[in-house]
Structure 1
Amino acid sequence: MPHPTQSFVRNCLLSVIDAAGYAAIGPHLEPVDLPKGTVLIEAGKPFTHAHFLNTGIGSIVVSTADSRRVEVGIFGREGLSGFGCLLGVDQCPQTTLVQVEGEGYRVAVDALRTACQQSASLRETLLRYVHVFISQTSYTALSNANQSVEGRLARWLLMCHDRVTGDDIALTHEFLSIMLAVQRPSVTTALHMIEGYGFIKARRGHITIKDREALIDFADGMYGVPEAEYRRLIGPFG
């Protein structure tokens, strides 16, 4: 299969690097389908590949020995998985999995590191993304500490909306409960409340965004800063 040209890829990081940077990474990109639930990185296991998504949403989840879990960050076509390999580490304590199916490219860790050594554009762009992701996780901590379940859900729905095409998001109550670190009945209550305000339409396995601006207002300042930082340092989401 021929390697994808830069004009063909939909991943924002691969789109914004210069031609020399893409020439360094492009030959190592392997197209992959990413079904829902695919584990991209297993906690405590060595990194083998990084993944650049074109579509879909990845989720980074931390868990305890007694199976308590919470999502700490998400990424889609604006980012990549496994960026810890860029920081000189070989594994991490979080699991990365696909929460909304999609497709993209994978690249072996050693090939990615070599490409970054060859291209300042690629290296600097990916490290800027690491900075933005840290900003996202800091706002997740802020939201978890200060917002109601409904406010946290509003922020997270906006983040997912940024990473899909259209207004429909395929999400289950089970995964929403992991994201919010609450029981499923609390997820149902939060969805009903936000739906009652007219911001969303919820049905089994799907949520449709109906009034994005109202949802931003409801998120009460917890959404938007990391997203603006991405646009400032890297570019639009796509």
Structure 2
Amino acid sequence: MDLPKAFLFQNRLLRTLSDSDLALIMPHADRVPLHVRQVLETAHQKIEYVYFLESGLGSVMAGKESGSAIEVGMFGRDGMSGTSLVQGDTESPFDCIIELEGDAIRISTEDFENAMRQSASLKNLMARYAHALGIQTTYTAWANAEITLEQRLARWILMVNDRIDDHHFRVTHEFIAMILGVRRAGITVALKLLEMRLLIKIQRREIFVLDWQGLIDLTKGGYGPAEVEYNRLIQTSTYSPVIGRSPAAV
């Protein structure tokens, strides 16, 4: 028996689509590499393309007039850029950049909007994902206001871990500091504290997750609710990885 066409993809949204919905997208799509700090969207400018990440990590960044910015949303193979298009807008109030390199299935805004006009099921799935990302953004705002930097960092590491194949990743202290909107020195201290708790290991500039449950407990509820809502909204399929599972369960 032939496998569904969706099985060819790592992106969970693409895997969830029916063959008929995929047929509306794929003739207009191509696979492109993604590089660290690559800009996918610029705030208040027209969105040119939608990216369904197959690997790597994207970050939605809210900026200030002073030039500083902070991450308000994260996505990888669980999602896509361009959620403003699903909500009837042609631009985003936020920047969108690449945190970890990878690759993506890219489709132009015009072709994506045409596909949604032709399929209610496609538009419905995209709308559910946009809602799930909004829930994640809400919990990120709560975490930024209510828990410590060490706890926020634990939550961020868990969210990255959900979206990569291996349970370790390379990223600079400077980049984490930019993402979390804090000073580099604070990140260095927080990472050392997590390592002293035996929750992570840092080796050769890579972060290794050692104790998934311990990291969750440290976040004091900052990690978990948004992940549950994602899995509810983007119904689990036979071929799709689940956001929020421990390394041993993947």
> TM exceeds 0.5?
yes
Does the 8 Å CA contact 1:29/1:105 hold for their aligned counterparts? yes
Residues 8-47 of structure 1: pairs in structure 2 closer than 5 A? 8-47=8-47
Percent of paired sites with the same residue: 36
- The reply on whether 1:60 has 2:57 as its aligned counterpart is no
Residue 126 of structure 2: SS of its match in structure 1? helix
Residues 1-238 of structure 1: pairs in structure 2 closer than 5 A? 5-203=5-203, 205-236=205-236, 238=241
Distance in 2 between residues matched to 1:155 and 1:100, nearest whole Å: 17
Does the 8 Å CA contact 1:20/1:119 hold for their aligned counterparts? no
The alpha-carbon deviation at position 10 of structure 1 amounts to 1.0
Greater Cα shift, 192-201 or 171-180: 171-180
Question: Which TM-score applies when normalising by structure 1?
Answer: 0.95
Distance in 2 between residues matched to 1:185 and 1:18, nearest whole Å: 48
Q: 1:171-199 CA distances to partner (integer Å, 9 max, x unpaired)?
A: 21112112221100000010000110000
Distance in 2 between residues matched to 1:221 and 1:207, nearest whole Å: 22
Residue 67 of structure 1: SS of its match in structure 2? coil
Residue 86 of structure 2: SS of its match in structure 1? helix
Does the 8 Å CA contact 1:21/1:120 hold for their aligned counterparts? no
User: Which residue type is aligned with residue 14 of structure 1?
Assistant: L
Residue 230 of structure 2: SS of its match in structure 1? helix
Q: 1:59-101 CA distances to partner (integer Å, 9 max, x unpaired)?
A: 1111112211111111000100011112121112311011100
**Any gaps of 5 or more consecutive residues in structure 2?**
242-250
The alpha-carbon deviation at position 205 of structure 1 amounts to 3.5
Q: 1:110-154 CA distances to partner (integer Å, 9 max, x unpaired)?
A: 110111111122111110000100100000011111100000001
Does the 8 Å CA contact 2:47/2:82 hold for their aligned counterparts? yes
What is the aligned residue count?
235
User: Which residue type is aligned with residue 173 of structure 2?
Assistant: H
The alpha-carbon deviation at position 204 of structure 1 amounts to 5.1
User: CA RMSD for the aligned pairs?
Assistant: 1.4
Question: Which TM-score applies when normalising by structure 2?
Answer: 0.90
Distance in 2 between residues matched to 1:183 and 1:57, nearest whole Å: 22
User: Which residue type is aligned with residue 15 of structure 1?
Assistant: R
